[in-house]
Amino acid sequence: MKLNEMGKKAVAAATKLNKLSTADKDMILEESAAALEESAAAILKANALDLAAAEKAGMHPGLVDRLRLTDERIRGMAEGLREIIDLPDPIGEVLEQIERPIGLHIEKVRVPLGVVGIIYESRPNVTADAFGLCLKAGNAVILKGGSEAINSNKEISQIIRRVLADCINNPDALQFIDSTDRAVTADFMRLNQYVDVLIPRGGAGLIRAVVENSNIPVIETGTGNCHIYVDESADIARAIPIIVNAKTQRIGICNACESLVLHEKIMTGLLVALVPALAPFNVELRADEASMNALAQLAATVHAAAGADVRQMHANVRLATDEDFFEEFLDYILSVKTVKSLDAAIEHVNIHNTKHSDAIITEDRQAAARFTNEIDAACVYVNTSTRFTDGGVFGLGAEIGISNQKLHARGPMGLRELTSYKYVVESEYLVRP
């Protein structure tokens, strides 16, 4: 199908969606969730083709993890749609009312964006998440998934389109571009006659390409060079599980910790405890000179019970380059920076982060307040793993992505972030003099 034709169909579908009641939309979401569960075998069969191709191509393990579907993850996709059912329908919400003395009654009313385009890589669950959120917010959606997940995405989109056809005779509320030709992607980014907003989800290269080449307004979702700063007042025993969780629970996710910033007064004590905790995951440290020296001293002096772990970690450490502190590794790699003060930590994080998620571990409430106030990021945490940056965890339902920018949305993007507003104005036949 030609892209212009898809665009026209999406605009027509969006017009129809705007007439649906909340009950209609929730019924479609439930039927779609059930259909995904019932079609798990077909989805896994399609996903197996993608996984085989990925392994043959030598895809990075972090990206393979994003690509992989399981029965549990398919159930999670279905539950994500059901969670959206439980969320309030934002469409028609009156955001503000203004009474003007000249006789104007003005209401600011929430409305759909219209047609949303999404370009994404590796994660077939995005197909269902994007559909569910766009539907509840009254938007038609055109999806362009990456070639690495082409079979999975096609299968999921076909299942949902059948539900749309059966429920409301409107399958074009979801359309999937099944071409893997990069020229088609470039043409899609110029479809501003029909598409109201374009959302890229993937690595830094994809996001940069969309921002630089699209003539459709873009909401950047983001790469996650996420930091954890361990302040001099931190409780080391309680800090270690947070760091390990943020770094190792899922390495291929944008809210994983990629950089550890240590106050010099706590550096040695923190490393003594952290090295054995990270050793089972074979995490490579890319450390600055101060932490390199501390690791060398630990390897030479720590008592025998911990010495093996420390020496093992010391063998898996190298001196960080300047570029390492800007890197989203999506791997068992962690950069380590030592600072002399909270001021230096805040400066380092703000220079090197991607405005995604950053955390402080501290017992000092004043330090926590300064960090949360001065760090420029969509999500800032105190004594909490960065892994919580997630639309579902935040109660937003399945997310469309995590925006690193400040216009028009920031952080996990749920239903409200997929809407705009209009002014509805009434009077008693008033004319402007």
Q: Please tell me the distance from the alpha carbon of residue 75 to that of residue 278, in angstroms, as a whole number.
A: 31
pLDDT tens, residue by residue, 227-255: 999 999 999 999 999 999 999 999 988 99
- Residue range 98-104: average pLDDT? 97
pLDDT tens, residue by residue, 317-348: 899 999 999 999 989 999 999 999 999 999 99
Q: Which residues of 320-344 are buried (b: 16+ CB within 10 A; e: fewer)?
A: beeebbbbbbbbbbbbbbbbeebeb
Q: Domains along the chain?
A: 3-221+400-426 (3.40.605.10), 226-388 (3.40.309.10)
CA distances for 77 relative to 9, 38, 390, angstroms: 26, 12, 14
Mean pLDDT, rounded, of the chain = 93
pLDDT tens, residue by residue, 38-94: 999 999 999 999 999 999 999 888 788 889 999 999 999 999 999 999 999 999 999
Q: Please tell me the distance from the alpha carbon of residue 258 to that of residue 242, in angstroms, as a whole number.
A: 13
Q: Which residue type, as a one-letter code, is found at position 266?
A: I
Asked if pLDDT for residue 188 goes beyond 90, the answer is: yes
